[in-house]
Amino acid sequence: MSARHSPHSHGYPRLLVLVLILLLLLISGTTGYMLLEGWSLLDSLYMSVIVLTTVGLGEVHPLGIAGERFTIIYVVAGVGTAAFILSSVTAVITSGSIRDFMRGRKMDNQISNLKGHYVICGYGGIGAELARTFSESHHQFVIIERDPVRCEEAREAGLLVVEGDATHEDILLRSGIERAEGLLTTLDSDADNLYAVLTVRGMNPAIHIITKGVEPHSEKKLLQAGADKVVSPSLIGGRRMAAMVLQPAVTDFLDTFVSSGETKFRMVEAAIPPQAPCVDKKLHDTDLRAQTNGILIMSVKKPASGTLVVPTADTLLEAGDQLVLLGTDEQIISLRKYLGSK
């Protein structure tokens, strides 16, 4: 990965290079004194250290002509370099680069342990809202973002972040894309979203991909590239604004009882397991609503046909059906207990 992809990696490689140069200076000085003066390893190293640090403790042993000439060259070439290296090392340490590097390593380790998580490409307006919603629902996810400022905002919020271009395979691999359950791309251009979808579909054929479509005509291309769903913010926004004018009561209901974070009502989905007591029964023959204190069943999706129906009293509930429900937290808890009962 290039340095621009990870700000916490700038200082650490530089520090390694500086330390390596300092070691080479010490090795060259030690070797020179050993060869020219016949000193021991320890005495030669000691002499090299006091020359480079200019502490002025004096020679270990009297120097011969060759040793004096070598020392002159060593002082001219090494003292300034050593001073620069020591000041640079201090600057790297005090700038927080080491801290950022260690934080990045810790984050990479956390991501490497994830499985069945979601990857969000882009931490702009839509991406940030996705991250907030995933955090509230306690789903594991990783953000890929190329903007260093946005990356730092996400890190400060305690989120897992990979800084870099979401269209690059090495960045996607760092996010654990091969182990991920789903990908959500919210990049700023259709070209970037298209390339990200193509790349990820090749890396993980089973992953569920939802992508943003910037232009209305881009949906077909994104679906052909491998996206499962395409969301157009402009299209949704236009319909939403029209609904506010044409159906204000409906939009007020959704805003008040579904979209607001302060409401006690939530819309959720739940699959009917084979052991649920309502399996192979018509809705009016079940005690589902009674056992859940009146939770509302908004729709039923049949997995075999993909048909989405608004349920009636005669709707047959089968194992695997996907229910979309509206209710309070207490009703939802009761529903999950009911579906999991023997």
Looking at residue 180, the DSSP 8-state letter turns out to be -
Banded pLDDT at 92 (limits 50, 70, 90): low
| Adjacent-strand bridge partners of 183 | 119, 209
Average model confidence (pLDDT) across the chain? 85
pLDDT score at 215? 87
Banded pLDDT at 342 (limits 50, 70, 90): very low
Banded pLDDT at 2 (limits 50, 70, 90): very low
Contact yes or no for 167/183 (Cβ under 8 A): no
pTM value surpassing 0.75: no
How much of the chain, in percent, has pLDDT values that exceed 70? 87
Contact yes or no for 166/193 (Cβ under 8 A): no
Banded pLDDT at 80 (limits 50, 70, 90): confident
Banded pLDDT at 259 (limits 50, 70, 90): low
What pLDDT, in 10s, does the model give residues 96-118? Answer: 555 565 566 778 888 999 999 99
Q: How many residues are there in the chain?
A: 342
- CATH number for the segment(s) 114-236: 3.40.50.720
Contact yes or no for 160/110 (Cβ under 8 A): yes
- 80 vs 279, more confident: 279
Phi and psi (nearest 5°) for 128? Answer: -65, -40
pLDDT score at 265? 75
Q: What is the mean pLDDT of residues 177-189?
A: 95
CB contact set of 39 (below 8 Å; sequence gap of 6+):
33, 47, 60, 61
The SS3 assignment for 212 reads strand
pLDDT score at 1? 40
41-50, 78-87, 112-121: least confidently modelled range = 78-87
Tokens for 132, please give them.
């907030």
> Domain 264-340 belongs to what architecture?
2-Layer Sandwich (3.30)
Helix, strand, coil share of the chain (percent; to 5): 55, 15, 30
Start-to-end CA distance of the chain, whole Å, equals 52
Listing from the earlier edge strand, what are the strands of the sheet with 322-328? Answer: 265-271, 322-328, 296-301, 308-309
Contact yes or no for 225/198 (Cβ under 8 A): yes
Tokens for 265, please give them.
């009502």
- For the domain made up of 3-94, give the CATH fold: Helix Hairpins (1.10.287)
DSSP string, 157-171: TT--EEES-TTSHHH
Contact yes or no for 314/286 (Cβ under 8 A): no
Where in the chain are the domains? 3-94, 114-236, 264-340
What pLDDT, in 10s, does the model give residues 225-237? Answer: 999 999 998 888 8
